[in-house]
Structure 1
Amino acid sequence: MWSFLLVFGLLCWGSHGSVTCKNDLNAEVDWYILYKIPRMDHISSGSTTGTEYFYIDSSGRNEELSNINSPNGVLGNTLRPLFRPIRNMEETFGFISYSDQPPGCGADPKRFGHSKGLVMVDRTGTGVWILHSTPRFPFRRDQNNFWPNSGNKHAQTFICVTFNYNQFTTIGTHLQYINAFPFEHYIPDNFHEELKNVVKWTEGSPYISDKVEVSLLTSNRNQGFKVFAKQANADEEVGDLYLSIAKDIRSDVYAQTWGCQPKRSLSYCSTDISVINVEDIAVGNRWMWKPKVDHSKWCVAKDQNTHWTCIADMNRAVSQYERFGGALCIHLEKVQGHFLRFAIHPQRCLKRPHPVCDPDSDGDNLQLIG
């Protein structure tokens, strides 16, 4: 009898206490990247609903999956520790949901960074950092209602990484560097000061750095990552996140950012380093689209001897150079290979595109906070 109770208790704790990235089979993975497909009609392979996605993870899987909004899918499984009332959360668990476009309101762009993500942590073990591009995500802390319907329209990216608790001092500091807006959170008093300071957004002024902040992180299974926090400056040479990344990794980069961003910057081309906009994206075996329907933000090293790929916060425009934000970058050849194949048509230098864009409602009619 006692053996049964002990095993039952351990199973129950494991279902709540294991804070890691999870795949669609609810198995733990060290990290994964999702590239969600935009909703599209009249394509040769048939229409898409906008819930399909391409999945890459630390186990070597790379495949097309569907129903990103499923309660038992990759995101639903990963977010499960979040789907409880705060009063029922263990004292060893904490979370921060941050976004410049949270559900039902908006963050003051003069005070807060252009960034979206989620931190969930078990103080006695591991936690996850999810960096993404989807407005209003998570929509609710509800297994059946975490995905915003507005998220179906455009392509989006997600990266989830499992880290040991000690790495969250660096992550907390990074979130302060980018002035992330924490729209929902629960961080107990015995957590790292760096995480507690993230949620004290009403105290003091925005953090302003006079340089690009670059930090190294190591995942739970020893995968290397680099995290960038950009400067806020209208000068492209200073405020362009992707140019800062290219200079640091010493490689030209292909960059995909929101194609309908007002006054979107051209490719940056010089004899020393270049940031080359992507004009067509191809994912998987049958999907292709243009940046005007792609809200993701990422870049990949062009040099195939420099294996960096970054999932990022920022678009490329002066209005974005003036804001805070950053990127989480993975150093792995197979990931770089996927993203180089995604970037099928680079923008030639000095060529200005004129995308025909549908109105983007992501930021309309939102009450500013801060």
Structure 2
Amino acid sequence: MNKLILLLSIIVIILIKSIDGSKSTTTIECLNEDGESVDWWVIQKQPVVSSMPEDTKYKLGLGYLYADSKNPTWKIPSNTLNDTNSLVHTLNLIYDNYDSKELAWFMYNDQPPTDEADSDYAHSKGVVAFDKTQGFWLIHSVPRFPHDPKNEEYYFPKNEVNNGQSFLCVTYKASSSFADIANKIYINRPFIYAYNFPSNIDLPQLSLIQQTIKGEFDESPRTDTTVLESIGGNSFQVFAKNSAWDQDLYEDLIQPTLKQNMAVTSWRLGSKASIMPTFCSGVNYTYDSINTLTFTFDDPVEGTVNWKYTKDHSKYALSIHETDNYICIGDVNRMYSQYKRGGGSACFINKSLWQSYVDIIQTIDPNCSGDTSFEL
């Protein structure tokens, strides 16, 4: 009998270890609308569009456009942001494994779900998750999102449906990219409100993330840009600035580096003193840095969707008048008040996706060319 009990105990221990170890077999990566592996994906959430019929996803502020590395043109999903989608599939890799000893992850947001973050922290929002081999970096613009997996299951917050928002998820190798990601985070200095760093995960420069959490940072003016290669071999030029640098992310860092005129979509509401007009190349500026104004696209089921920049909280920039088709998706608004905020952006070239973004921009500020259309 004792031998039988001992044997059963051993079997139970093996099964428990097997179940616990199964978490570590989960591949940490960006997942598409069907839960399948993709190198990268983007989501553009639309705001509440009051002109749409009642109970439509756009009236509810839950409509979105989707594209990824396999199909880099806009798809109009039939579901909503409250349904199962690429965002849910990807973040559930953390929510379903938040206490795994094989997964390191952290979430940051200048407007966290429960805490308060003062303006000394970066104007940055995102999620990073890696095992010892690979992981994803999700850059987004949604305040109070996502919630701490240790306390709640995944959901998209009801109080964040009103405005347009942007999301970029990229899958990277840990060995070649995590150290650079950690360095960008350290320079930006975001408010990290949820995290899990198992002792047996030895990621390069993870200590920089831990220093950021402790409030340690470099007070001298700093910027950084590095080309990161995704796991699928795509190049993403990632930019970072800290608050002490005290300049514009776009006109003073991204555009001179990429040598691009750009149209920028970002939150531009606030005091008149902080609202930044379009900059035109000439005596004072090297590049056109143009504000977008209105947006539109046709949903074959629900009709034409229109909205203004005053309802769009996204942060993205597109090349204009250039041969390079850059898309930059990031953290920082084009506002004078954002000079003193850390943050960054990830820029990449994809002609099909770039054209998809161009197609939804209806008008831009006419100050530089005298034309409100997006002339290429």
Same-fold status (TM-score > 0.5): yes
Q: 1:41 Cα deviation (Å)? A: 1.5
> What secondary structure, in the 3-state scheme, does the structure 1 residue paired with 2:136 have?
strand
Q: Does the CA contact (< 8 Å) of 2:293 and 2:364 recur in 1?
A: yes
Identity level (%) = 25
CA distance in 2, matches of 1:170, 1:253: 25
* TM-aligned CA distance change 1:257 to 1:274, over 3 Å: same
Report what 2:76 is aligned to.
64
In structure 2, runs of 5+ residues without a counterpart are: 1-13, 370-376
Aligned with residue 328 of structure 1, among 338, 346, 353: 346
Report what 2:118 is aligned to.
108
Report what 1:244 is aligned to.
253
Q: 1:234 Cα deviation (Å)? A: 8.3
Aligned with residue 136 of structure 1, among 144, 147, 155: 144
Q: 1:209 Cα deviation (Å)? A: 4.9
* TM-aligned CA distance change 1:128 to 1:265, over 3 Å: same
The answer on 1:257 being equivalent to 2:266 is yes
CA distance in 1, matches of 2:306, 2:24: 38
CA distance in 1, matches of 2:214, 2:154: 32
* TM-aligned CA distance change 1:180 to 1:32, over 3 Å: same
* TM-aligned CA distance change 1:283 to 1:200, over 3 Å: farther
> What secondary structure, in the 3-state scheme, does the structure 2 residue paired with 1:28 have?
coil
Q: Does the CA contact (< 8 Å) of 1:35 and 1:157 recur in 2?
A: yes
CA distance in 1, matches of 2:298, 2:220: 39
Q: Does the CA contact (< 8 Å) of 1:301 and 1:309 recur in 2?
A: yes
The answer on 1:176 being equivalent to 2:186 is yes
Q: Does the CA contact (< 8 Å) of 1:228 and 1:327 recur in 2?
A: yes
Aligned with residue 13 of structure 1, among 11, 15, 22: 22
> What secondary structure, in the 3-state scheme, does the structure 2 residue paired with 1:191 have?
coil
- Aligned ranges 1:269-284 → 2 under 5 Å: 269-271=280-282, 272-283=286-297
CA distance in 1, matches of 2:22, 2:97: 16
The residue type equivalent to 1:77 in the other structure is H
| 284-293 vs 32-41, greater mean Cα deviation | 284-293
* TM-aligned CA distance change 1:341 to 1:208, over 3 Å: farther
Report what 1:99 is aligned to.
109
| 300-309 vs 322-331, greater mean Cα deviation | 300-309
Q: 1:231 Cα deviation (Å)? A: 4.8
Q: 1:94 Cα deviation (Å)? A: 0.8
1:283-335 CA-to-partner distances (Å, cap 9, x unmatched) read 45432211111011110111341121101111122211111110011221112
Report what 1:365 is aligned to.
none
Q: 1:338 Cα deviation (Å)? A: 1.6
Q: Does the CA contact (< 8 Å) of 1:232 and 1:324 recur in 2?
A: yes
Q: 1:13 Cα deviation (Å)? A: 3.3
* TM-aligned CA distance change 1:259 to 1:225, over 3 Å: same
Report what 1:28 is aligned to.
37
The residue type equivalent to 1:19 in the other structure is I
CA distance in 2, matches of 1:284, 1:80: 31
The residue type equivalent to 1:82 in the other structure is I
> What secondary structure, in the 3-state scheme, does the structure 2 residue paired with 1:75 have?
helix
User: Considering only aligned residues, what root-mean-square deviation do their CA atoms show, in Å?
Assistant: 2.8
CA distance in 2, matches of 1:341, 1:104: 37
* TM-aligned CA distance change 1:264 to 1:201, over 3 Å: same
- Aligned ranges 1:308-347 → 2 under 5 Å: 308-347=326-365
1:129-159 CA-to-partner distances (Å, cap 9, x unmatched) read 0000000111342785431112211000000
Q: Does the CA contact (< 8 Å) of 2:111 and 2:143 recur in 1?
A: yes
* TM-aligned CA distance change 1:16 to 1:38, over 3 Å: farther
CA distance in 1, matches of 2:368, 2:348: 30
CA distance in 2, matches of 1:206, 1:15: 32
Q: TM-score, normalised by structure 1?
A: 0.83
> What secondary structure, in the 3-state scheme, does the structure 2 residue paired with 1:260 have?
coil
CA distance in 2, matches of 1:54, 1:178: 28
Q: Does the CA contact (< 8 Å) of 2:134 and 2:173 recur in 1?
A: yes
Report what 1:210 is aligned to.
221
Report what 2:277 is aligned to.
266
In structure 1, runs of 5+ residues without a counterpart are: 352-370
Q: Does the CA contact (< 8 Å) of 2:269 and 2:275 recur in 1?
A: yes
Q: 1:344 Cα deviation (Å)? A: 2.3
CA distance in 2, matches of 1:16, 1:80: 14
Q: 1:211 Cα deviation (Å)? A: 4.6
Report what 2:197 is aligned to.
187
1:25-45 CA-to-partner distances (Å, cap 9, x unmatched) read 111111000000111212489
Q: 1:120 Cα deviation (Å)? A: 0.8
Q: Does the CA contact (< 8 Å) of 2:124 and 2:332 recur in 1?
A: yes
The residue type equivalent to 1:280 in the other structure is T
Report what 1:82 is aligned to.
94
> What secondary structure, in the 3-state scheme, does the structure 1 residue paired with 2:48 have?
coil
Report what 2:128 is aligned to.
119
The answer on 1:147 being equivalent to 2:161 is no
The answer on 1:229 being equivalent to 2:247 is no
